[in-house]
Amino acid sequence: MKSTLGCMLFILFMRNVFAAPSMTGEQIFKRQCASCHSQNANDTNIPILFGQEQRYIVKALNKFKADERTDHILGSMKSMAMHLSDDDINAIAKYVSTKDICSVKQNIDTKKEGFIEAFRAGRAIEKKINCQHCHGSFHRGAPRFYGQRKRFLKLTLHAFQGGRRDFPIMKRVTSQLSNEDIENLSTYINAMVLMRDCK
Ligand code: HEC
Ligand code: HEC
């Protein structure tokens, strides 16, 4: 009797270890991704995924997996993506795309000296090049970029320009930008989130 019970408990234990029910996108995200991607810290250079176009998240994860994009910031994304199945990727992409970018707190200091000038200059370049033509509507697979962290935007635009992030369209776009243009564009695009009605 005792050994039957012991045996049953053992089987239950092993089932939990090996046949844990598959996790939802939210569970995977909270366990494996949120520590980096949902930090409320202001000065991080890790991109925010909340509110991102679902198809872009799927595309980006598959690119990391296939070595078509290198994580040039922390170098961790290939190993994170490698362990995700297609179902996991779809579930995570669905989850993050339905969350609100405003739920990640950023203290954008609009009173900082030079902010208004940088914002205006950034807006003028954005209008001239018409970044929104692609980034406002997933045209050519361009991600939503407003409200993205300033440090990530800046690093990324420099990486496109220098070829560390290899993407021909963005290499062409950034080849016409000075360091100051990149600084101003990053200020403006990050602050575009303020034009949203964040609660
Ligand atoms: C150790 C920190 C860290 C962890 C953990 C992490 N990421 Fe990342 N992730 C990054 C960094 C840094 C980048 C930016 C890399 C670059 O642009 O070169 C990134 C980029 C991405 C991108 C592309 C975003 C964009 O705007 O282009 C996606 C999608 C992504 N991660 C999904 C995930 C998922 C899903 C998980 C969990 C399974 C995860 N990440 C875990 C640090 C992390
Ligand atoms: C002709 C279309 C097009 C135009 C115009 C364009 N982009 Fe892009 N951009 C893309 C595409 C497509 C990607 C996705 C690259 C990838 O899949 O890795 C991208 C990626 C980016 C990223 C990386 C975002 C992330 O989350 O990883 C940034 C930042 C960016 N573009 C900024 C800009 C800025 C600023 C401008 C204007 C000065 C601009 N883009 C103009 C198509 C465009």
**Residue to mutate (ligand 1; options 24, 28, 77; most atoms within 8 A of CB):** 77
Whether pLDDT at 2 is above 90: no
What pLDDT sits at residue 103?
Answer: 87
The string of pLDDT tens digits covering residues 131-189 is 999 999 888 899 999 999 999 999 999 999 999 999 999 999 999 999 999 999 999 99
C-beta of 173 in contact with ligand 2 (< 6 A) = yes
C-beta of 133 in contact with ligand 2 (< 6 A) = yes
Alpha carbon nearest to ligand 1 atom 22, residue: 60
Please report which ligand is nearest the Cα atom of 159.
1
Go through the chain and tell me how many residues it has.
Answer: 199
Residues 19-27, mean pLDDT to the nearest whole number:
79
Please say whether the dihedral angle defined by the alpha carbons of residues 94, 95, 98 and 102, taken in this order, is positive or negative: negative
What pLDDT sits at residue 116?
Answer: 97
Residue type, 147: G
The string of pLDDT tens digits covering residues 30-85 is 999 999 998 776 668 999 999 999 999 999 999 999 999 999 999 999 999 999 99
37 CA distance to ligand 2 middle (Å): 19
* Closest atom of ligand 2 relative to the 148 alpha carbon: 26
Whether pLDDT at 1 is above 70: no
What pLDDT sits at residue 132?
Answer: 94
What pLDDT sits at residue 95?
Answer: 97
Separation of alpha carbons 146 and 190, rounded Å: 6
pLDDT bucket at 9, cuts 50 / 70 / 90: low
Residues 95-112, mean pLDDT to the nearest whole number:
91
142 CA distance to ligand 2 middle (Å): 5
95 CA distance to ligand 1 middle (Å): 15
Residue-wise burial string across 98-122, b where 16 or more C-beta atoms lie within 10 A, e elsewhere: ebebeebebeeeeeeeeeeebbebb
Please say whether the dihedral angle defined by the alpha carbons of residues 56, 174, 149 and 72, taken in this order, is positive or negative: positive
Nearest to 195 by CA among 134, 123, 131, 133: 123
Which contacts qualify for 78-85: CB closer than 8 Å, 24 or more apart?
80/32, 80/33, 84/28
What pLDDT sits at residue 21?
Answer: 60
104 CA distance to ligand 2 middle (Å): 22
Residue-wise burial string across 180-199, b where 16 or more C-beta atoms lie within 10 A, e elsewhere: ebbbbbbbbbbbbbeeeeee
